């Protein structure tokens, strides 16, 4: 359940900060980075247990990285591409020119 919430949140934030035109590329990059992070986390946990016979150090490192991610995300600012209400266009309206 937590993984699905993470994937949905990533998709929503990418659409709001990078727009729909860049969505495919940015989503692909983010999913690749998430896969690498998951693989690295599993390895970190395994190495830590082999060396120290405890997961404590690996969990502390992951908590510190989580805190850094929270701080970074909290400084992102307003959406560049806000939600458009139904019936309204996100494109600026061209003014008619009469001669």
Helix 23-52, helix 2-18: angle, nearest 10: 140
**Share of residues in the chain with pLDDT > 70 (%):** 83
Q: How far is CA 85 from CA 49, 82, 99, in A?
A: 51, 9, 34
Locate the domains of the chain by residue range.
2-74
Cα–Cα dist 26/36, whole Å:
15
Q: Do the beta carbons of residue 43 and residue 36 sit within 8 Å?
A: no
Q: What is the mean pLDDT of the chain?
A: 84
Instruction: Give the pLDDT of residue 23.
Output: 92
């Amino acid at each position: 359940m937590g993984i699905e919430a993470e994937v949905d949140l990533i998709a929503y934030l990418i659409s709001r900060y990078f727009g729909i035109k860049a969505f495919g590329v940015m989503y692909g990059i983010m999913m690749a980075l998430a896969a690498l992070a998951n693989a690295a986390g599993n390895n970190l946990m395994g190495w830590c247990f082999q060396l120290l016979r405890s997961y404590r150090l690996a969990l502390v490192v992951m908590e510190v990285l989580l805190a850094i991610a929270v701080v970074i995300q909290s400084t992102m600012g307003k959406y560049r591409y806000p939600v458009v209400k139904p019936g309204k266009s996100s494109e600026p309206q061209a003014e008619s020119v009469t001669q």
